Amino acid sequence: MAGTKEIRTQIKSIQNTRKITKAMEMVAASKMRKAQENMQATRPYLDKIRVVISNLSKAHPEYVHPFMVERTVKRVGLILVTTDRGLCGGLNVNLFRHVLRTMQGWSESNVEIDVCAIGSKGVAFVKRGAFNPVAEITGLGDRPRFVKVQGAVKTLLDSFEAGKLDEVWVARNEFVNSMTQKPNLVRVLPITPEAVTAQQHHWDYIYEPESKDVLDLLLKRFVAASVHQATVENVACEMSARRIAMKNATDNAGDLIGSLKLKYNKARQAAITQEIAEIVSGAAAVG
Amino acid sequence: MAITVRVDIVSADHAVMGGEATFVVVPTKMGELGITPRHTQLLSELKAGEVRVTDAKGVVSLFFVSGGVIEVQPHAITILADSALREEDARALEMIEEEARLKALESRIEIGTRETDYFRLRGAVEAEERLKWIEGIRGSARHSSQ
């Protein structure tokens, strides 16, 4: 009977694990739906603000905001959007790999990097590496609030305004569909709307109260909205990645249980056969 | 048919309204501003307050915005609100909950005057305005029913 008991406990424990992964899969699936709706809901704001900014670039403003001016790059700010929790497949790791490649390029051209990490995984990553962390946010939850993002982004915006940073980038996962998430890096500062092709007639906005104040507010909102959208999208990515990861884990557990059951039955069968052989040979010896 | 202008009100977490209007009133930093179709281009900062949109039939819809930016183009008005509330949604809200929310916000302000608290402070001011506005529209509803 050697082994059957061990195999039985092994099967039990894998069954328990399967129950957990199955439950996590279902939780992630329902959260994914909500996160996707949330992502759709925040999109109009960013779309509209983008329209306003592209209108702005067509106008001929008397005042050019520092956020819209390109500078030679000596120091960049990086906003790294990650998840708070693991067990979501290669989502964060893929992003880190992608970011590291870009960072290497920056380091080679002697560009220094300030990192603002969003999400515990990103914070841990920044601490492991030799980066310069400037801000961090964790615990945004399943519905990241705009105001919370604004606070962290402000530090980077301030250093950009003060001329300490020459570019600000956001690294995040792009939600392609529920099966695919693509890590990417986008530049949010300076803001360069698509180049104006045809020279339209000269017009400019009336600004109230002051062009500087209004533009400042508008552009800051734009950056914050971009980052907010990234965090919201990242939640959708996290949930779909976790759903897939947990589905795979559940399937694997099923396979394992199958093969262990086969092994268990074989062992049991062998034990019975052996017992019968012993009895038969015993009877033969007596008879 | 009356001349109309396209109005979009979006807040950070959802699109609040999109439609045609003949007249729009918004609370800007400099005071209330009434906009009719074909207004010249304008960019302005909003403060917490009431937005009134009159549609082609003359029906006025009310919204509360907690600040943001308004962009006016001759044929389109875009209101980028930090947060916005529809009149019908406001009526459905539980007053007690709103008051509790405001109290919670106010109690958190006293912690300090660090820079991050600026957002909290502003949030509380806006929440107070919001509460006042909700009370206001409910008050006017009571009057009209009498």
Tell me, what CATH number does B20's domain have? 2.60.15.10
Q: Is B144 on the interface with A (CB under 8 A)?
A: no
Pair (B58, B15) in one structural domain:
yes
CA of B43: which chain A residue's CA is closest? A207
CB atoms within 10 A of CB A45: 26
Pair (B127, B82) in one structural domain:
no
Question: Could you tell me which of A220, A266, A191, A229 has the C-alpha nearest to residue A43?
Answer: A229
Mean pLDDT along residues A2-13:
86
Cβ under 8 Å to A: B residues 10-69:
10-15, 28-30, 33, 40-45, 68-69
Q: Which of A49, A60, A204, A222 has the highest number of chain B CBs within 10 A, making it the mutation to test binding with B?
A: A49
Mean pLDDT along residues B46-67:
88
Nearest to B78 among A48, A146, A215 (CB): A48
Pair (B12, B60) in one structural domain:
yes
Domain count across chain B: 2
Beta strands in chain A (DSSP E): 75-81, 112-118, 132-137, 167-175, 181-189, 206-208
For residue A259, the model assigns a pLDDT of: 94
CB contact under 8 Å between A217 and B8, yes or no, is no
Q: How far apart are CA A281 and CA A42, in angstroms?
A: 79
CB contact under 8 Å between A52 and B71, yes or no, is yes
Question: Could you tell me which of B8, B44, B12 has the C-alpha nearest to residue A226?
Answer: B12
CB contact under 8 Å between B10 and A205, yes or no, is no
Of A122-126, A150-154, A269-273, B9-13, the range with the highest mean pLDDT is A269-273
CB contact under 8 Å between A52 and B78, yes or no, is yes
Is B137 a residue whose pLDDT tops 80?
Answer: no
Nearest to B41 among A205, A209, A215 (CB): A205
At A171-201, the pLDDT tens digits run 888 888 888 888 888 888 888 765 544 555 6
Nearest to A59 among B11, B41, B68 (CB): B41
At A31-83, the pLDDT tens digits run 999 999 888 888 888 888 888 888 887 776 677 778 887 888 888 888 888 88
Pair (B15, B60) in one structural domain:
yes
Pair (B103, B55) in one structural domain:
no
Mean pLDDT along residues A93-105:
88
At A106-118, the pLDDT tens digits run 888 888 888 888 8
CB contact under 8 Å between A55 and B116, yes or no, is no
DSSP string for residues in B2-45: ---EEEEEEETTEEEEEEEESEEEEEETTEEEEE-TTPPPEEEE
Higher pLDDT, A149 or B22: B22
For residue B145, the model assigns a pLDDT of: 40
In a domain? residue A217:
yes
Composition of chain A by helix, strand, coil, percent to 5? 60, 15, 25
Pair (B12, B80) in one structural domain:
yes
For residue A155, the model assigns a pLDDT of: 83
Decide which of B87, B116, B132 is a domain's last residue. Answer: B87
Pair (B63, B14) in one structural domain:
yes
Cα→Cα distances B89→A58, A164, B70, Å: 37, 44, 22
Higher pLDDT, B120 or A274: A274
Nearest to A208 among B15, B42, B73 (CB): B42
**Residue B85: CA atoms inside 13 Å, Cβ hemisphere, count?**
23
Nearest to B10 among A48, A207, A213 (CB): A48
Contacting residues of A for B8, CB less than 8 Å apart: 44, 48
State the CATH number of the domain containing residue A203.
3.40.1380.10
Residue with tokens 């402070």: B121
Q: How far apart are CA A165 and CA A72, in angstroms?
A: 10
pTM of the model: 0.81
Q: Which of B38, B39, B45, B101 has the highest number of chain A CBs within 10 A, making it the mutation to test binding with A?
A: B45
Percent pLDDT > 90 in chain A is 25
Q: Residue A2: which pLDDT band, with cuts at 50, 70 and 90? A: low
Percent pLDDT > 70 in chain A is 95
Report ipTM for this prediction: 0.76
Pair (B81, B124) in one structural domain:
no
CB contact under 8 Å between A45 and B40, yes or no, is no
Q: Residue B146: which pLDDT band, with cuts at 50, 70 and 90? A: very low
In a domain? residue A147:
yes
Q: Is A209 on the interface with B (CB under 8 A)?
A: yes
For residue A57, the model assigns a pLDDT of: 76
Contacting residues of B for A45, CB less than 8 Å apart: 10-13, 15, 80
CB contact under 8 Å between B12 and A218, yes or no, is no
Task: Compute the Cα dihedral for A230, A236, A239, A242 and give only its sign.
Answer: negative
CB contact under 8 Å between B69 and A221, yes or no, is yes
In a domain? residue A10:
no
Expressed as residue numbers, the domain containing A208 is 27-243
Pair (B24, B75) in one structural domain:
yes
Pair (B74, B105) in one structural domain:
no
At B70-121, the pLDDT tens digits run 999 888 999 998 888 888 777 777 666 767 766 766 666 555 555 556 666 6
In a domain? residue A164:
yes
Domain count across chain A: 1
In a domain? residue A162:
yes
- Look up residue A84 and give its two tokens: 């708070």
In a domain? residue A258:
no
Expressed as residue numbers, the domain containing B39 is 5-87
Hey, what long-range contacts does A87-91 have (CB within 8 A, 24 or more apart)? A87/A24, A87/A242, A87/A245, A87/A246, A88/A238, A88/A241, A88/A242, A88/A245, A89/A241, A89/A242, A89/A244, A89/A245, A89/A248, A90/A241, A91/A173, A91/A181, A91/A237, A91/A238, A91/A241
Pair (B97, B141) in one structural domain:
yes
Pair (B98, B141) in one structural domain:
yes
For residue A194, the model assigns a pLDDT of: 59
Mean pLDDT along residues A145-166:
83
